[in-house]
Amino acid sequence: MDLRELDTPALLVDVDRLDRNIAAMAKSFAGSEVALRPHAKTSKCWEVARRQLDAGAVGMTCSTAAEVTWLRAHGVTDLLWANVPVGPGKVALAVEVARQGGLTVTLDSVEAARPLSTAAAEAGVTVPFLLEVNTGHARLGVEPDHAVAAAEAITALPGLRLRGVLTHEGHIAASADRTSLEEAGTAAGERLVAVGEALRLAGHPIDVVSVGSTPGATSAPFVAGVTEARPGTYAYHDANQVRLGSTTIDRCALTVLARVVSVQRDGRAIIDAGVKAMSSDTIAVAGSVGVAVDPAGVPLPGVTFAEANEEHGFLFHSGGFAVGDLVRLVPNHACGTTNMWSHAYAVRRTEVLAEWPIAARY
């Protein structure tokens, strides 16, 4: 099938770009002492995760309980749940999967750890965990100066075993330029390594020192002492990664296919893909909803995807659009866009190869 035959909007994955992205990231870690554990949240697609594992990933990183369940069902037995399992359902899942082996969770406080400890002890299970450390992003994570005290309090509880430390260096994306971003990524890695060393000196066996982000994948993982990297967006890349200098537009594998449905007003074409197709994530920061490219994936000069409603997008242009024209849209954030869809079409140039299910969505 040619993609021109697809109903729109439709989510597309360029398999050649996908495979190149996966191979390039795997090559960057080949021969190093840093393991690659990709984030499943970017694709939520087994066809993508399978390719990452086949390329040498040691396991997968999960954000949600649904991702843990989905990947276990596909036989992946080395999972990191990079989120704090708070709430009865998440605690029960963590204990049950830990009983089977191959799951490590994340904790950043004794308050979050207590219910998990109680459930694990009652089940006669030991749940491995990484202590999340704030290296600048200020989302989850204990402050570095409080890490030893937090580890002491959590490991005093039954049913829990500390394996190492983890951070998400998401704050580096706010850097002024690529040089500053690389420096910030290195600094985040150094902070985490220092925390790991402080925990070792306090008597804790720290085997895992895990960093995670696509923009930081060229800096933080290569600090001496880091053992693992958890990039996610790299499989698809997106317009944000282009802006950050992590990639170029010709490596972006994920696009939304749309059609022009109205050209009633000069300089503005209306398409049938809005925020329900693209996700509104990071629109304010990017100043657009995404980047418009032609059906072959080549950027359209002078076209700005500046606004969107739920089901409609607004392309501002200098002329040339007609009703029925096809356009592909590179999303700002691939992960948020994926979660809007139940399936994607694998394509090579303009040929549709297969339909791939997307799982573990909210």
Helix axes 147-155, 178-201, angle to 10 degrees: 50
Query: Are the C-beta atoms of 91 and 115 separated by less than 8 Å?
Result: yes
Choose one of 175, 209, 235: the last residue of a domain.
Answer: 235
Residue 226 CB partners (closer than 8 Å, separation 6+): 34, 189, 192, 193, 209, 210, 211, 220
Query: Are the C-beta atoms of 186 and 223 separated by less than 8 Å?
Result: yes
What is the chain's pLDDT, residue by residue, as a tens digit (362 residues)? Answer: 999 999 999 999 999 999 999 999 999 999 899 999 999 999 999 999 999 999 999 999 999 999 999 999 999 999 999 999 999 999 999 999 999 999 999 999 999 999 999 999 999 999 999 999 999 999 999 999 999 999 999 999 999 999 999 999 999 999 999 999 999 999 999 999 999 999 999 999 999 999 999 999 999 999 999 999 999 999 999 999 999 999 999 999 999 999 999 999 999 999 999 999 998 777 767 778 999 999 999 999 999 998 999 999 999 998 789 999 999 999 999 999 999 999 999 999 999 999 999 999 98
Query: Are the C-beta atoms of 319 and 309 separated by less than 8 Å?
Result: no
- The whole-number pLDDT of residue 362 equals 85
CATH assignment at residue 291: 2.40.37.20
Choose one of 235, 261, 279: the last residue of a domain.
Answer: 235
- The whole-number pLDDT of residue 280 equals 79
Q: How many domains does the chain have?
A: 2
* Domain coverage including residue 280: 3-11+247-357
7 lies in the same domain as 31: no
Q: Which of 352, 331, 179 is nearest to 255 (CA)?
A: 331
Cα dihedral 148/153/37/254 (nearest 10): -100
For the entire predicted model, the pTM comes to 0.96
Choose one of 235, 259, 288: the last residue of a domain.
Answer: 235
